[in-house]
Amino acid sequence: MLASEVIKRYEAFCPKELSLEGDSVGLQIGTLRKDIKKIMIALDVREQTVQEAIEKEVDLIIVKHAPIFRPIKNLCVDTPQNQMYSELIKHDIAVYVSHTNIDVLKGGLNDWFCDLLEIEVEGVLHETAPNEGIGRIGCVQPQTFEAFATKVKQIFGLDSLRMIAYENQAESIIERVAICGGSGDSFFRDAVVKQADVYITGDIYYHTAQDMLSEGLLALDPGHYIEVLFIEKLTAFFEEWKQEEEWDVEIVASQASTNPFSYL
């Protein structure tokens, strides 16, 4: 079957038009005008992902984070980044990116996070168009900040969790929670305006953390890699569509870890 048929079905579920302005989404490498036998769902395209795709004879990778995220000045293969592109092209592996559109999507990544954390969603955190936006805001059962942090750590299987709080705030009672997968600290003022007690997002900058606390907002930074949930969820969707559409294609979930962080 053609790769374009698979992507047409995916885009009916998660349109590119949902993505934030200037975002990199859609086909980045290769072509969709080709027959495919195997699709791999991945979070990132790194050296280990490419090697895995080659070994498994993958024809198409559907990924959340774009492999081309900075302007390319040349295609010389002397750099690791360009070497990855070269290997993908050499082995005719297409790469399709679904980035902020899967974050904005109703029933997408941020809603999956809310389901896991039992957050009763009331609306979007940062509106990008009427009735749609990135991040979510909602409520949980009243509990201490520390108890909620412990739950977040357990749910995402984290080795550690950064708590943005000053002394004696661990016992603060929280109920209203904002969440945005990935790097969402630029949206923290939306969380303040919408009266969140806690904001969950990754890659929180030092001075931004201080600003959050000055605004009366506690926060949790579980890291960027919790977005790995993308692999599990999309693999399940594609398996469902495969049965519905009677696709003659194999769906595989990437097993390569691309988390750059570990902890002592």
- How far is residue 18's CA from residue 53's CA, in Å, rounded to a whole number? 28
Spatial CB neighbours of 213, under 8 Å, sequence gap ≥ 6:
164, 165, 166
* Nearest of 143, 144, 122, 124 to residue 132 by alpha carbon: 124
Eight-class DSSP state of 2: B
* Three-state secondary-structure class, residue 46: coil
Alpha-helical (H) ranges within 27-166 are 47-55, 80-90, 100-104, 109-117, 145-155
- How far is residue 221's CA from residue 209's CA, in Å, rounded to a whole number? 10
One domain for residues 62 and 8? yes
Q: Which of 99, 115, 138 is the last residue of a domain?
A: 99
Q: Which residues of the chain have pLDDT under 70?
A: none
The whole-number pLDDT of residue 220 equals 98
One domain for residues 113 and 65? no
Residue 91 among known ligand-binding residues: no
One domain for residues 93 and 112? no
One domain for residues 169 and 220? yes
The angle formed by the CA atoms of residues 243, 244 and 250, to the nearest 5 degrees, is 35
Residue 75 carries which side chain, given as an amino acid letter?
L
Spatial CB neighbours of 117, under 8 Å, sequence gap ≥ 6:
140, 151, 152, 155, 177, 179, 200
Within a domain: 249: no
The whole-number pLDDT of residue 86 equals 97
Residue 103 among known ligand-binding residues: yes
Beta strands in the chain (DSSP E): 26-29, 38-42, 60-63, 94-97, 120-129, 132-144, 162-164, 173-183, 198-202, 218-221, 250-253
One domain for residues 141 and 201? yes
Q: Could you list the residue range(s) of the whole structural domain that residue 44 is in?
A: 3-99
Within a domain: 246: no
pLDDT in tens, 153-197: 999 999 999 999 998 899 999 999 999 999 999 999 999 999 999
One domain for residues 137 and 220? yes
One domain for residues 133 and 217? yes
Bridge-based pairing of strands 198-202 and 132-144 is: unpaired
- How far is residue 24's CA from residue 135's CA, in Å, rounded to a whole number? 18
The whole-number pLDDT of residue 102 equals 98
What pTM did the predictor assign?
A: 0.96
Eight-class DSSP state of 205: -
* Three-state secondary-structure class, residue 152: helix
Q: Which of 66, 99, 132 is the last residue of a domain?
A: 99
Q: Which residue has the tokens 């506690």?
A: 218
The enclosing domain of 210 has a CATH number of 3.40.1390.30
Six token digits for residue 101: 């559109």
Residue 227 among known ligand-binding residues: yes
- How far is residue 67's CA from residue 64's CA, in Å, rounded to a whole number? 9
One domain for residues 152 and 78? no
One domain for residues 112 and 91? no
Q: What is the pLDDT of the chain when averaged over all its residues?
A: 97
